[in-house]
């Protein structure tokens, strides 16, 4: 209750004021940059970066162990007021967001600087403001303690992300942006419908209050199905991914990196909040199996279609599709044996590690693709041959980011995979373990495909055309290394796992496991991938003896590609959305 | 049947209609319209909840009403952005030719090498 | 009995118009039908004792959105260019219809099963309103209890403006958007645009002012002011302002900036972010609302006007 | 007095409603755009005027009554303008439907 019109001091004690700063610094940056315009836009954005990063790190330091910070806005207690809360999940996501955004900002300076004659130009003005807005929206999503605040933040995120897609104004990107916007709006309308029902049923939208009030009944099931479906449409979980490949591959490199690394994580994070914090006691094993099954579909479709792409950026976009699927494998594994409550910390921690790992690695990949594009003037995979000579650092960075995604020891993905495999064997769900292993190989396959093309000897000697700035190379490399070394950090005080669950990464078996993944990936790439004709004629080509297998592989990958094209038609995606909504709702009802 | 219940049912039907239109309409402007119908249907659901929450001398619960006002503003911003995108897309497409041709070009692919 | 009949006819009318909006063959009839739909919908809101929402819905659903969509429909006369998908086959269409009907039924079923009376925050909202000095609980929710959401929403509007502007061609950056009306003005419209705005501005300011205690407020008042400005631009009595202008930008961002500024002030003065100290609550709230009204009055026309299409004057 | 006022209200509102009904029927049934427009504006002007007259005795005080009159005047103004604009557009583009 209100205390003389002043914030009740007890709840806003400690460093909790930092939470509001984490939101208002980027937000104030947006508004000031908008008013000032001109060359100040970039300066404001770049000075907000270290400030925001420092605040996020401070939040990570001041948070007492095993407790969450809470800030009541205006001093009004929920349910009437809204609160910001930082738990371990919010903190790790905010930290990785701040790191990735800062690195992207360093990278983007080369592409989005105002010309020196102090005239304002369109693309830099929009880019820096939108980047700050995405940051503000994401921090609000990570901290928001109220489902409607999350809705507004989600819309802020969408409105900032969509114009980034079509910053260069080409017809394809405009079309991709419109499709993205409309599908995202469909998703947010469904999410809002769910919050309506929740308010109608329980009289609050505050997450901690709801956790005490909700119980398994049809209202909650319908609300949960609506909200989850809406969020999945925004996260682009297969088969609701129609908008993702064109949107993420068409944007400028820095924008693609933000979109693929961070923006889809916003709605994903709300799904996690919803299931782990609002409705942990809602018995959803059947529904969670559905969710993870779609994740497996995403891994298969995303990876195989990635292997079929001619353009590097499209390949990376399809890789995002596959990695999003990976994130959803944690849901059925989060039930402790014999329980129907989402309570298993290891699975949750694994999901978060995977999300962080993907955020940094994917940003690194898109930035690398941007440098390659700048160097070659195109990003056709078949034409990558000279790039290892002209841009060795970029190819190295791409390779490191790829290794991080595959899950070499010490990377975030490695820890995530180990944790999930452990849980899968504990709960006797061998099929998800299989999916995890296959996922690693499929990831390896498209990384191998790109690296082999990049390392191939060039058809004629080539000289570097442009000089990619060292800052750009460094920014991408830092992100790749960040993903590669995430597993070395002791996450115990932020994520629900004990420090001994992360075993020593440098054992022989761990290294062998990675080697298997890469070898398997290479085989898959040879069988399913699209290869430059020059490569297949090379003396060391191994295509001749395996021609029948290759033929079968091509058939599989072509069918997958064709199916994917069908699924990406608007009405078909609509049918998928409705069907998922209904199946998910029924799956929840069944378990009652 | 009370006015509130009726409004709630109307809201549910509007949401269904909007959903249908959003999925089946090929014309983007019609999709934008359908999104607005869907949105207003969802808002009406808030309306019934607000009305049924009348208490303490208030004729309705003010919280859902305020949420609807915020929602209407956000939906308008979405509509404005979508319309601007659509108009620009239309302008660019008229220059390039039809969009179907364009997407046909990008999707066509050559043979694979065995 | 009579009231119930009227309610049912109103609902039937709204549903018919919505159906027409969604299913009509031409784009233009669909848009016109949507505008009528928005106006009638606001009557349903009145019946739900949500006058604030009704005002917003009428101003936005029937008003500004209507202008926006009619403008778009007339610019997109030859929209067949944009159709990338083939017509749906009847089986697919029926499948979608069936799925939508199922969803609607589930939704309706759940809505009917919601507790009646609903769990409500009305007692808390009314009880704490004294601390804000306001009389209208909806305004109190928007500007005090859930001020954070409202501030974010104002930022959403600024961002929508940035998004719309970012669709300009590079050479027009800093220039002026399209006039809202393509053909030259006529005597009637000019007369109208000279006569109406003084009244409209008075009404807009009044609706903003009474919002503290009665239905109304910054958004509704701002929308009316925005409408007046749009009429003036439509009649070509004034040009749409250039997007590069400093004052234009200040007007657009003043609402969220002042809101955020008051929040930060409270933060520094240790009342708390977006908290209003006892005794100063109402003046501070009115202060914030003045700038929010201004920003809305500037933002809505700029969103309708679209990206700049003329180069800035040197 | 009271009875007389009530009678006035009921009569004026009823007659006004008839005008609205007639206007709507005309809008739907008349063959071309200009005559439809004619039907529409008549309903607006006279129908609304009568309804406002009928409501005046029931208004809350003088201020309430004044508001009703202002509503009527504003609708007159916008109705007249819109009618003109539509008619001009019809003349320019030729009658459609």
Closest Cα in chain A to B111? A530
Chains touching D (3+ CB pairs < 8 Å): C
Chains touching chain A through at least 3 C-beta pairs below 8 angstroms are: B, C
Q: How far apart are CA C310 and CA C314, in angstroms?
A: 12
Domain that holds residue C255: 124-314
Burial class (CB in 10 A: 0-12, 13-18, 19+), A281: middle
Q: Is residue B27 part of a domain?
A: yes
Distance from CA of C71 to the nearest CA of A (A): 18
Q: Residue range C57-82: average pLDDT?
A: 81
CB contact under 8 A, B85 and A148: no
Chains touching C, CB cut-off 8 Å, 3+ pairs:
A, B, D
**Per residue in A46-101, pLDDT tens?**
999 999 999 999 998 888 776 788 888 888 888 888 999 998 899 999 999 999 99
Pick B17's closest partner by Cβ from C19, C61, C149.
C19
Backbone angles phi, psi at A459, to 5 degrees: -60, -35
Q: Are residues C144 and C169 in the same domain?
A: yes
pLDDT of residue A506: 66
- Are C182 and C63 found together in one domain? no
Please report the number of interchain residue pairs, chain C to chain D, with beta-carbon separation below 8 angstroms: 21
Considering CB atoms only, which of C53, C100, C101 is closest to B68?
A: C53
Cross-chain Cβ contact A82/C100 below 8 Å: no
Q: Determine the pLDDT at residue A240.
A: 94
Neighbours of C5 (CB within 10 A): 9
Q: How confident is the model at residue A504 (pLDDT cuts 50, 70, 90)?
A: low
Residue C97 pLDDT > 90: yes
Cα three-residue angle A395-A400-A401, rounded to 5 degrees:
100
Flag whether B23 is in a domain. yes
* Bond before A349 cis per omega within 30 degrees: no
Task: Count the domains in chain D.
Answer: 1
CB-CB neighbors (< 8 A) of B103 in chain A:
172, 175
d(CA C92, CA C80): 21
Contacts of B19 in chain C (CB under 8 A): 100, 103
Task: Kindly identify which residue of chain B lies nearest to residue A173, measuring between CA atoms.
Answer: B89
Using an 8 Å Cβ cutoff, are A487 and A478 in contact? no
Average pLDDT, integer, range C177-192: 69
Structural domain that includes position B96: 3-106
Kindly report, residue by residue over C129-161, the tens digit of the pLDDT: 888 878 888 888 998 899 999 999 999 999 999
**Min distance D82 CA to chain C CA atoms (Å):** 8
**Which site among C28, C66, C104, C289 would you substitute to test the B interface, given the most B Cβ atoms closer than 10 Å to its Cβ?**
C104
From the list C97, C100, C125, the residue facing B63 with the nearest CB is C125
Query: CB C126 to CB B47 under 8 A?
Result: no
Structure-block tokens of residue D10 = 């009921």
Residues 72-111 of B with CB under 8 A from A: 74, 77-78, 81-82, 85-86, 88-89, 92-93, 96, 99, 102-103, 106-107, 109
| Contact status, residue B61 vs residue C123, Cβ threshold 8 Å | no
Cβ-based neighbour number of residue D78 at 10 Å: 14
Confidence of residue B101 (pLDDT cuts 50, 70, 90): low
Supply the pLDDT for residue B114.
Answer: 42
The whole-number average pLDDT for the span A294-315 is 92
Half-sphere exposure of residue A102: CA atoms within 13 angstroms, side-chain side: 18
Q: Is the pLDDT of residue C79 over 70?
A: no
* Cβ neighbours of A570 in B, within 8 Å: 23, 26
Residue with structure tokens 């022989």?
A: A508
Q: How many domains does chain B have?
A: 1
Q: CB contacts < 8 Å between B and C, how many?
A: 287
Q: Indicate whether C95 pLDDT > 50.
A: yes
For tokens 């005597």, what's the residue?
Answer: C187
Share above pLDDT 70 across residues of chain C, in percent, rounded to a whole number: 94
**Rounded to 5 degrees, what angle do the CA atoms D89, D92, D94 make?**
95
Per residue in C252-303, pLDDT (tens digit) is 999 999 999 988 888 887 777 888 887 788 888 889 999 999 999 999 999 9
- Hunting for tokens 């830092």 — which residue is that? A478
| Interface with chain C: mutation pick from D81, D83, D88, highest number of C CBs within 10 Å | D81
- A545/A541 Cα distance (integer angstroms): 10
- C156 and C259 assigned to the same domain: yes
CB contact under 8 A, B85 and A531: no
pLDDT of residue B98: 57
Establish if D88 touches chain C: CB-CB under 8 angstroms.
Answer: yes
Q: Which residue of A has its CA nearest to C267?
A: A17
**Tokens (6 digits) for A578:** 């409705």
Identify all chain A residues contacting B86, using CB atoms and an 8 Å cutoff.
178
Q: Over the range C123-160, which residues count as b (16 or more CB within 10 Å of their CB) and which as e?
A: ebbbebbebbbbebbbbbbbbbbbbbbbbbbbbbbbbb
- The overall average pLDDT reported for chain B is 83
Average pLDDT over residues C173-189: 70
Residues in A closer than 8 angstroms to B109, CB to CB, are 310
Is residue A5 within 8 angstroms of chain C, CB to CB? yes
Closest partner CB to C303 (pick from B18, B33, B80): B80
Which chain C residues have a beta carbon less than 8 Å from that of D84? 186, 188-189
Over residues A127-148, the mean pLDDT reads 95
Across the interface, whether the CB atoms of C152 and A200 are under 8 A apart is answered no
Question: Count of CB atoms within 10 A of residue A300's CB?
Answer: 18
- Give the Cβ contact number of residue A548 at 10 Å: 9
H or E stretch including B111? none
Q: In the structure, do chain C and chain B come into contact, i.e. share 3 or more CB pairs under 8 Å?
A: yes
Range of the domain at D43: 2-93
> Which of A88-97, A172-181, C195-204, D38-47 is predicted least confidently?
D38-47
Q: Which residues contact C59 (CB under 8 A, 6 or more apart)?
A: C220, C223, C224, C227
Is A75 within 8 Å of C124 when comparing Cβ atoms? Answer: no
Strands A69-72 and A83-86: antiparallel
Residues C164 and C238 in one domain: yes
User: Is the pLDDT at C196 greater than 90, yes or no?
Assistant: no
Closest CA–CA distance from residue A493 to any residue of chain C (Å): 28
The SS3 call for residue C133 is coil
Instruction: Provide, as residue numbers in chain C, all residues whose Cβ is less than 8 Å from the Cβ of A220.
Output: none
Residue in chain D lying closest to C197 (CA): D74
**Nearest-10 crossing angle of helices A312-327, A285-307:** 160
Residue of A nearest to B96 (CA): A171
Q: Which of D70, D74, D85 shows the shortest C-beta gap to C188?
A: D85
Distance (Å) from the alpha carbon of B13 to chain A's nearest alpha carbon: 13
pLDDT tier at B17 (50, 70, 90 boundaries)? very high
Q: What is the pLDDT of residue B99?
A: 55
Kindly tell me the burial class for residue C183, based on how many C-beta atoms sit within 10 Å of its own C-beta (0-12, 13-18, 19 or more).
Answer: exposed
Nearest to B81 among A181, A310, A536 (CB): A181
Instruction: State pLDDT tens for residues B45-84.
Output: 999 988 887 777 778 889 999 999 999 999 999 999 999 9
Whole-number pLDDT of residue A549: 82
Provide the shortest C-alpha distance from residue A19 to chain C (in Å). Answer: 11
Q: In the structure, what pLDDT confidence band is assigned to residue B34 with cuts at 50, 70 and 90?
A: very high
pLDDT(A135) > 60:
yes
List chain D residues with CB under 8 Å of C195: 77
Do chain D and chain A touch with ≥3 beta carbon pairs under 8 Å? no
Handedness of CA C270, C275, C281, C284 (dihedral sign): positive
Per the confidence metrics, is the pTM higher than 0.90? yes
* Pairwise CA distance, residues A365 & A253, whole Å: 10
Q: For chain C, which residues lie within 8 Å of any Cβ of chain D, measuring from their own Cβ?
A: 186, 188-189, 191-192, 195-196, 199
Does B113 have pLDDT greater than 60? no
- On whether residue B94 sits in a domain, the answer given is yes
Average pLDDT on A509-523 reads 86
- In chain C, residues with a C-beta closer than 8 Å to the C-beta of A203 are 118-121
Kindly report the CATH number assigned to the domain that includes residue B87: 1.10.287.3510
pLDDT for A150 beyond 60 = yes
Q: What is the DSSP string of A206-261?
A: BHHHHHHH--SSHHHHHHHHHHHHHHHHHHT-TTS-TTHHHHHHHS-HHHHHHIII
Look at D84 and C195 and tell me if their CB atoms are within 8 Å.
no
Please check the confidence at residue A501 and state whether its pLDDT lies above 60.
Answer: no
DSSP C313: P
Same domain, C225 and C159: yes
What is the nearest CA distance from A153 to chain C, expressed in angstroms? Answer: 7
| pLDDT surpassing 80 at residue A532 | no
Q: What confidence tens digit (pLDDT) does each residue in A409-466 have?
A: 888 888 888 888 888 888 888 888 889 889 989 999 999 999 988 888 777 766 666 6
The ipTM (two decimal places) reads: 0.92
Q: Do C48 and B47 touch (CB under 8 A)?
A: yes
Q: Cβ of A185 and B102 within 8 Å?
A: no
Closest approach of A387 to chain B, Cα-based (Å): 22
Where chain D has pLDDT below 50, the residues are 97
First to last CA, chain B: 70
């Amino acid at each position: 209750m209100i205390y003389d019109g002043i914030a009740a001091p007890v709840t806003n004690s400690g460093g909790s004021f930092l939470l509001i700063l984490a939101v208002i610094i980027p937000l104030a940056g947006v508004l000031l940059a908008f008013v000032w315009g001109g060359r100040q836009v970039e300066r404001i954005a770049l000075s907000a970066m270290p400030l925001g990063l420092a605040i996020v790190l401070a939040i990570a330091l001041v948070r007492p162990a095993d407790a969450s910070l809470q800030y009541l806005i205006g001093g009004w207690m929920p349910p009437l007021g809204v609160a910001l809360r930082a738990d371990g999940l919010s903190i790790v996501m905010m930290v990785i967001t701040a790191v990735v955004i800062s690195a992207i900002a360093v990278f983007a300076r080369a592409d989005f600087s105002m010309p020196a004659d102090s005239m304002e130009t369109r693309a830099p003005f929009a880019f820096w403001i939108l980047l700050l807005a995405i940051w503000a929206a994401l921090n609000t999503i990570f901290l928001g303690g109220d489902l409607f605040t999350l809705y507004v933040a989600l819309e802020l995120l969408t409105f900032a992300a969509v114009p980034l897609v079509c910053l260069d104004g080409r017809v394809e990107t405009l079309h991709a942006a419109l499709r993205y916007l409309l599908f995202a709006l469909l998703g947010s309308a469904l999410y809002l419908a769910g919050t309506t029902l929740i308010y109608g049923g329980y009289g609050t939208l505050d997450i901690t209050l709801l956790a005490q009030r909700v119980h398994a009944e049809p209202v909650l099931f319908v609300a949960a199905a609506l909200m989850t479906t809406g969020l999945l449409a925004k996260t682009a979980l297969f088969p609701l991914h129609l908008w993702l490949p064109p949107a993420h591959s068409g944007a400028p490199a820095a924008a693609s990196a933000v979109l693929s690394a961070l923006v889809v994580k916003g709605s994903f994070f709300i799904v996690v909040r919803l299931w782990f914090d609002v409705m942990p006691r809602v018995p959803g094993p059947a529904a969670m199996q559905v969710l993870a099954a779609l994740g497996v579909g995403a891994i298969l479709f995303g990876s195989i279609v990635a292997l079929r792409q001619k353009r590097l950026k499209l390949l990376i976009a399809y890789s995002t599709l596959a990695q999003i699927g990976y994130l959803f494998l944690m849901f059925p594994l989060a039930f402790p044996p014999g329980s129907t409550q989402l309570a298993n910390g290891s699975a949750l921690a694994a999901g978060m590690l995977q999300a962080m790992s993907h955020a940094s690695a994917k940003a690194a990949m898109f930035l690398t693709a941007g440098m390659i594009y700048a160097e070659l003037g195109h990003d056709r995979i078949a034409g990558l041959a000279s790039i290892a000579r002209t841009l060795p650092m970029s190819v190295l960075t791409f390779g490191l980011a790829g290794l991080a995604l595959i899950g070499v020891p010490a990377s975030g993905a490695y820890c995530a995979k180990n944790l999930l495999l452990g849980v899968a064997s504990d709960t006797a769900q061998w099929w998800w373990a299989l999916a995890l292993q296959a996922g690693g190989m499929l990831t390896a396959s498209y990384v191998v495909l790109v690296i082999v093309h990049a390392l191939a000897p060039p058809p004629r000697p080539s000289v570097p055309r442009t000089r990619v700035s060292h800052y750009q190379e460094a920014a991408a490399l830092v992100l790749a290394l960040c993903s590669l070394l995430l597993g070395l950090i002791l996450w115990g005080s932020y994520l629900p796992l004990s420090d001994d669950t992360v075993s020593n990464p440098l054992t022989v078996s761990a290294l062998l496991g990675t080697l298997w993944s890469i070898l398997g990936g290479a085989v898959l790439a040879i069988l399913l991938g699209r290869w430059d004709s020059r490569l297949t004629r090379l003396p060391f080509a191994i295509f001749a003896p395996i021609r029948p297998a290759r033929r079968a592989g091509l058939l599989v990958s072509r069918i997958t590609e064709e199916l994917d094209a069908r699924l990406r038609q608007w009405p078909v995606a609509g049918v998928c959305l409705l069907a998922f909504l209904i199946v998910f709702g029924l799956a929840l009802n069944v378990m009652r | 049947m009370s006015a509130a219940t009726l409004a709630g049912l109307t809201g549910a039907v509007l949401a269904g209609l909007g959903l249908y239109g959003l999925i089946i309409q090929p014309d983007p402007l019609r999709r934008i319209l359908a999104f607005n119908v869907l949105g207003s249907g969802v808002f009406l659901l808030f309306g019934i909840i607000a009305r049924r929450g009348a208490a303490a001398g208030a004729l309705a619960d003010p919280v859902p009403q305020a949420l609807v006002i915020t929602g209407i503003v956000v939906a308008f911003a979405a509509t404005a952005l979508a319309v601007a995108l659509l108009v620009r897309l239309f302008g660019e497409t008229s220059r390039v030719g039809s969009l179907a041709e364009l997407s046909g070009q990008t999707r066509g692919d050559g043979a694979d090498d065995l | 009995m009579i009231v119930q009949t009227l309610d049912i006819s109103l609902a039937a009318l709204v549903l018919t118009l919505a159906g027409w909006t969604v299913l009509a063959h031409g784009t233009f009839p669909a848009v016109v039908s949507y505008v009528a739909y928005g106006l009638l919908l606001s009557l349903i809101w009145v019946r739900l004792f949500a006058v604030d929402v009704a005002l917003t819905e009428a101003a936005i659903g029937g008003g500004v959105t209507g202008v926006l969509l009619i403008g778009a429909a007339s610019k997109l006369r030859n929209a067949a260019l944009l159709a990338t998908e083939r017509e749906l086959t009847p089986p697919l269409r029926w499948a979608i219809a069936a799925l939508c009907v199922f969803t609607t039924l589930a939704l309706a079923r759940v809505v009917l099963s919601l507790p009646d009376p609903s769990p409500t925050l009305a007692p808390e909202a009314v009880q704490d309103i004294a601390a804000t000095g306001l009389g209208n609980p909806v305004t109190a929710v928007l500007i005090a209890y859930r001020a954070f959401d409202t501030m974010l929403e104002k930022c959403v509007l600024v961002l929508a403006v940035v998004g719309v502007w970012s669709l300009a061609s590079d050479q027009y950056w800093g220039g002026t958007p399209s006039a809202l009306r393509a053909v030259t003005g006529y005597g009637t419209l000019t007369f109208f645009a000279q006569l109406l705005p003084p009244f409209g501005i008075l009404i807009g300011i009044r609706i903003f002012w009474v919002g503290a205690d009665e239905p109304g407020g910054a958004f509704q008042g701002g929308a009316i002011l925005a409408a007046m400005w749009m009429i003036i631009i439509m009649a070509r009595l004034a040009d749409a302002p250039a997007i590069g202008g400093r004052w234009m930008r200040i007007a657009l961002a003043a609402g969220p900036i002042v809101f955020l500024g008051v929040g930060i002030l409270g933060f520094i003065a240790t009342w708390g972010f977006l908290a209003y100290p006892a005794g100063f609550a109402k003046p501070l709230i009115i202060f914030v609302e003045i700038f929010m009204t201004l920003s809305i009055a500037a933002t809505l026309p700029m969103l309708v006007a679209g990206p700049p299409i003329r180069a800035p004057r040197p | 007095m009271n009875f007389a006022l009530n009678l006035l209200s009921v009569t004026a509102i009823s007659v006004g409603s008839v005008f609205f009904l007639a206007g709507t029927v005309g809008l739907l049934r008349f063959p071309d755009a200009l005559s439809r427009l004619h039907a529409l504006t008549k309903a607006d002007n006279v129908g609304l005027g009568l309804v406002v007259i009928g409501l005046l005795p029931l208004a809350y005080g003088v201020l309430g009554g004044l508001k009703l009159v202002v509503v009527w005047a504003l609708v007159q103004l916008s109705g007249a303008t819109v009618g003109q604009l539509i008619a001009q557009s019809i003349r320019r583009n030729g009658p459609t439907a």
